[in-house]
Structure 1
Amino acid sequence: MSKIAFVFPGQGAQYVGMGKDIVENFEVANNVFELASEAIGYDMKKMCFEGPEEELKKTENTQPAILTTCIAIAKVLEEKGIVPDITAGLSLGEYASLVISKAMDFKDAVSLVKKRGKYMQEAVPLGIGTMAAILGMQREDLEKALERAEEFGIVEAANFNSPGQIVISGEVKAVEKACEFAKELGAKKAVMLPVSAPFHCSMLIPAGEKLELELKNIDIKDLQIPVIANVHADYYKDKKEVIDLLVKQVSNSVLWEDSVIRMMEDGVDTFIEIGPGKSLSQFIKKISKKVKKQVITYNIENSETLDKVLDNLANK
């Protein structure tokens, strides 16, 4: 029996114009943007459709903007009768999964991720922390590079995205040294990333503590669709786990590769990436080659890609 997973991207996928033609063509998507504007107190359409890019790139704007675009598209799919068997999202994308699973109301989620973005940005002063992508290296070898770099400061694995792509995070000097050591130990490439904070490492624990206080103020309901959590690449057992796992997620590694493998093992053969960009689809293709699983990946970010996916699913 074929299973469908909805997967949602994280920060970095944004671009000016995202969601525009979906909103122009579907009332249900327009309603999502209207709700977002009400919840956060500024015009979400203007932010996503017009920018400017510098404003959209600010973490506290990026996170609600991407979440809004993802949910707007997902609601169109729901309206067309397409619902997932399982859902997961990368970092910020996990909030979209929780909204789709009915664990969290969209208005609560969009307000929450605006604050999450602000807390993550404020946790570490600008210039103190950074991130880098390490390409073409096994986890075990990267661990050795990180151990060697620890004498220069905090540096940790932040995202296990796909075979051969791991992102590290921490203090600038330690991250730079880890890149050097990774290359010495056989990494094909080590690229410093243009980010404003060291996400998904222990330096972000204070942001998680602030987020916890906000999470305690919202109504979390039973999950109607299984959601895989980034922190342990396993399913949320029940709504009682939501606060704990979302707090940990801020400062823990994102186990995306493991999450995708888990979904494949549980029978998912069709992945629909919903929202701006195609990075998750690319990761999933690499992961499927590694585990030798035949899967189909789609991405939906506008009306054209939506029509294509609807046609393909109708003909399956």
Structure 2
Amino acid sequence: MTSAIGLVFPGQGSQSVGMGKTLVDTHPSLQAVYNEASSVLGYDVAALCFEGPAERLNLTEFTQPALLVSSVAALRALDLRKAKPIAVAGHSLGEYSALVAAGGLAYRDAVSIVQKRGRYMSEAVAPGTGLVAALLGLSADMVRDVCREASPVGVVQAANFNSPGQIVIAGEKPAVERAIVLAKEKGCKKAIPLPVSVPVHTPLMQTAADRLAQDLAAIRWSDLSSPLINNAEAKRIEKAGEIQPSLVRQLPSSVLWEDSIKAMASMGVKHFIEVGPGTVLAGLIKRIVPEAVTLNVYDPKSLDATQTALEAAT
């Protein structure tokens, strides 16, 4: 098994008040991960993650660092000395956690840049003008058709190709609402508006991407110890010079999550470890690659189960 591991990292939507607390209670050395982030950001990151309030934690500018820090803490808790991953990937924001895991991005730089990313995203679109919705039961081509047909009303595109039959669309509110009507006409089983006001992974994020590009250009990148399968093209990235342009493309581009997981499986990944809060990605992976084994690290119990599975295979 140790030659068949892939690490995946969650994105926005997986946050919850209390995330990471039991891991830190059980492994006090992980507090240092939160303390370092607090020194970068100027506020108590552990208090925000462990105690909330939810209203602040759910603001994009705070959500993004909180999730990254919680994911890195979970990663530090995991002993991978005998189990180098074949590849890593992260869902949207999670791509930054994956880059930290693969040694391409220094942790302090990651904390700082995702705070700016969250701020730029929230400032790119006026509050209340965007809408995000999950469409269940349509093919990728059908969703693309729906978005194209709704586009005269405004900007709308497939934001996340999450798994077969689960695709998230985003854009300007009237256009997304029109797309939902069209999707139902084409047999969409369910259209679920999501509690996300920022239409990420659409052209509406281009201004945020342009601002982010300037900050990314100032970061020192390193070659990766394990290849990253990126969001924008579901392609393998290993060299330092490839990282920055990929992250700039990521914001206005669709997240090709289904293709990314298929790419990891084709590289030989059989055991996917979701590192960080929640179990959303494990559920998607089982729908994409049903034969895959999924493991999680988000609390002491899941850490112990994953560690036991790793040790049994070495």
Contact 1:28/1:72 (CA < 8 Å) preserved in 2? Answer: no
Q: Is the 8 A contact 1:129 1:197 kept in 2?
A: yes
Kindly indicate whether the alpha-carbon contact (under 8 Å) linking 2:154 and 2:172 is maintained by their aligned counterparts in 1.
yes
Q: Which position in structure 1 is the counterpart of 2:51?
A: 50
Report what 1:157 is aligned to. 158
Give, in angstroms, the shift of residue 82 of structure 1. Answer: 4.2
Amino acid at match of 1:209: D
- The 1-side partners of 2:201 and 2:312 are apart by 40
Q: CA deviation at 1:301?
A: 0.6
**Residues of 2 paired with 1:157 and 1:202: CA distance?**
11
8 A contact 1:77–1:83 mirrored in 2: no
Pairing of 1:277-316 with structure 2 (within 5 A): 277-289=278-290, 294-316=291-313
Correspondence for 2:116: 115
TM-score computed with the length of structure 2 as normaliser: 0.97
Match of 1:182 in 2: 183
The offset of 1:8, in angstroms, is: 0.2
1:85-121 deviation per Cα after TM superposition (whole angstroms, max 9, x unaligned)? 2110000000011101111100000110001000000
Structure 2 unmatched ranges of 5 or more: none
Q: SS state of the match for residue 169, structure 1?
A: strand
Give distance in 2, aligned partners of 1:75 and 1:84: 14
CA contact (8 A) 1:4 1:86 kept: yes
Q: Secondary structure of the equivalent of 1:147?
A: helix
Give the corresponding residue for 2:277: 276
3-state secondary structure, aligned to 1:200: coil
Deviation of the 1:299 alpha carbon:
1.3
Letter in 1 for 2:172: E
User: Structure 1: any 5+ residue segments left out of the alignment?
Assistant: none
In the TM superposition, what whole-angstrom CA distance separates every residue of 1:1-59 from its partner, at most 9, and x where no partner exists?
74100100000100001011211222442221111111111111101000000010000
Count, aligned residues: 312
Q: Secondary structure at the match of 1:97?
A: helix
- Where 1:220 maps in the other structure, the secondary structure is coil
Distance 1:191 1:295 in 2: 27
Cα deviation for residue 237 of structure 1 reads 4.1
| Match of residue 263 from structure 2 | 262
Q: Give how far 1:146 is off.
A: 1.2
User: Secondary structure of 1:127's partner?
Assistant: coil
TM-score, structure 1 normalization: 0.96
Rounded Cα–Cα distance in structure 2 between residues aligned with 1:35 and 1:111: 11
Give the distance between the partners of 1:79 and 1:181, measured in 2 at CA: 47
Alignment of 1:1-316 (within 5 A): 2-78=3-79, 81-289=82-290, 294-316=291-313
RMSD: 1.3
Within 2, Cα distance between the matches of 1:263 and 1:79? 18
Q: Aligned equivalents of 2:262 and 2:122: distance in 1?
A: 31
Residue by residue over 1:136-182, the C-alpha shift from the partner in whole angstroms, topping out at 9 and shown as x without a partner, is 11011112211211111111110000000000011100000101101
Give the aligned residue type for 1:61.
F
Cα 1:261–1:282 change in 2 (3 A) is: same
Structure 1 stretches of 4+ moved >4 Å: 79-82
Percent identical pairs in the alignment equals 45
Distance across 2 between alignment mates of 1:146 and 1:172:
13
Quote how far apart the aligned CAs of 1:315 are. Answer: 2.4
